[in-house]
Amino acid sequence: MSRLNLNSILSWVDSHIIDYPTAMNLNYNWSFGSSAGFCLVIQILSGAFLAMHYAGETHYAFSSVEHIMRDVKSGWLIRYMHANGASFFFIVVYAHIFRGLYYGSYMEPRQQLWWSGALIYVLMMATAFIGYVLPWGQMSFWGATVITSLFSIFPFIGKEVVMWLWGGFTVGNPTLNRFFSLHYLLPFIIAGLVFVHLGLLHKDGSNNPLGIKTKTANVNFYPYMYVKDLVAFFVLLSVLSVVIFYFPNSLGDPDNYLEADPYGTPAHIVPEWYFLPFYAILRVIPNKVGGILTMGGAIAIIFLYPLLNTSILRSANFRPIYAVVFWLFVADFCLLAWSGTTPVDDYFKVIGAVVSIGYFAFFVFGGLFVGWLEKTLAFRALSK
């Protein structure tokens, strides 16, 4: 029985890793997925070591982080690896998403693959948010207060939901304990979903830059394609190492090196950089309920995009109109992130409103209208 199980495992490894058929024209854009998996491993391992020394209690949380940084052997390295690893995780995931948008990886028959990836992204945001609360610095405390207060929009039960999240009448020790437990649990759920994501990928096969499926142009993943993932792994590790050893605080907020003070609100409450585009959309609507619904819609439309698509072509390499719209969207997304860092005044609110409209316009215009326009132009060209 044990020999049979071993043979089954080896057969699975052989069919899904070694002899897995892969399009020979895959470029380094297809290495972002494996890089994201590498980042997940870093986060789980470093987080486990940090949890050994962290105290999930409001009076000791901030001091325990300082203890990790100053007294635990190599604790500073583990903490900086975890904090900056989260940023790099989002960098490669954003690149992975943009690659999927450019090459049409959300189209038939890969809608389920796209939805599983979008779900992983949402869980990543939840995990990153509650993890940012754990150091119990100024931005941690007030970020938790602001974000959890958003749940008060539920009619009739909103206040009860917020108090249930807090475990009391304000963000405090029960909140921190719950967030600590969830932050430890969610990465393992994400890891499970990653295997589901990989299973769906292997069921339908990888997309490729041409956007076509062929069995005659495939090669084995090993030894031909794993080399590209290996190169991407070393590039990611090198850049991450430079940030950790030379610029460890460049991606963080200085206010989070001050212990949480419920009586002193920071001058400008700003989330981590990877939340800034959605934060900008949230605050561009003056109405609280409208802002929250708009931000929720900005995340939900990622799930809906495969259903909005009307194009029969996948790759933007053969869709010049869509390619232009796509790069305008990338620029718009960067402007959204910048807009989230600006003060709330009339000038910047106008910019935020424009780029927020541009965000939604890409999914509607790029999905529905561009596909129809391409079909119309192709039909006219063939009719001549």
SS3 state at 364:
helix
Residues 175 and 31 in one domain: yes
pLDDT of residue 8: 61
Among 16, 53, 202, 375, the active-site one is 202
Length of the chain in residues, anyone?
Answer: 384
pLDDT of residue 1: 46
pLDDT of residue 380: 73
> Is residue 268 annotated as part of the catalytic site, yes or no?
no
Residues 45 and 105 in one domain: yes
C-alpha span between 335 and 354 (Å, rounded): 10
Which DSSP letter does residue 370 get? Answer: H
Domain total of the chain: 2
Which tokens belong to 183? 């932050």
Among 255, 272, 332, 374, the active-site one is 272
Residues 104 and 125 in one domain: yes
pLDDT of residue 62: 94
Where residue 236 sits, what CATH number does that domain have? 1.20.810.10
C-alpha span between 19 and 295 (Å, rounded): 43
Sign (positive/negative) of CA torsion 31, 36, 39, 40?
A: negative
Residues ≥6 apart with Cβ < 8 Å to 369 = none
SS3 state at 220:
strand
> Does some domain include residue 187?
yes
Among candidate residues 88, 99, 101, 98, the one with its CA nearest the CA of residue 36:
88
Final residue belonging to a domain, choices 265, 290, 317: 265
* CB 322 within 8 Å of CB 315: no
Residues 258 and 284 in one domain: no
What are the average pLDDT values for consecutive 10-residue runs of the chain, which has 384 residues? 58 63 85 94 96 93 95 95 96 96 91 96 96 93 90 87 90 93 95 93 85 75 83 94 95 89 84 93 88 93 92 88 94 94 80 93 89 76 66
pTM score, whole prediction: 0.93
Bridge partners, residue 219, by sequence: 22
> Does some domain include residue 293?
yes
Residues 296 and 184 in one domain: no
Residues 278 and 242 in one domain: no
Residues 113 and 212 in one domain: yes
**Cα 294–chain centre separation:** 19
Residues 274 and 237 in one domain: no
pLDDT of residue 9: 59
pLDDT of residue 215: 65
> Is residue 19 annotated as part of the catalytic site, yes or no?
no
Among candidate residues 340, 333, 338, 319, the one with its CA nearest the CA of residue 362:
333
* CB 255 within 8 Å of CB 132: no
Final residue belonging to a domain, choices 265, 299, 325: 265
> Does some domain include residue 2?
no
> Does some domain include residue 3?
no
> Does some domain include residue 93?
yes
Residues 123 and 236 in one domain: yes
> Residue 99: enclosing H or E segment and its boundaries?
helix 75-103
Q: Give the amino acid at 269.
A: I
The answer to the question of whether 59 is labelled as a binding residue is: no
> Does some domain include residue 81?
yes
Residues ≥6 apart with Cβ < 8 Å to 264 = 138
CA distances to 87, 191, 297, 367 from 41, in Å: 14, 9, 30, 34
Residues 282 and 195 in one domain: no
Residues 359 and 240 in one domain: no
Residues 258 and 307 in one domain: no
> Does some domain include residue 5?
no
Residue 185, domain extent: 14-265
pLDDT of residue 12: 56
> Is residue 272 annotated as part of the catalytic site, yes or no?
yes
> Does some domain include residue 35?
yes
pLDDT of residue 23: 81
Final residue belonging to a domain, choices 208, 235, 265: 265
C-alpha span between 146 and 142 (Å, rounded): 6
Where residue 356 sits, what CATH number does that domain have? 1.10.287
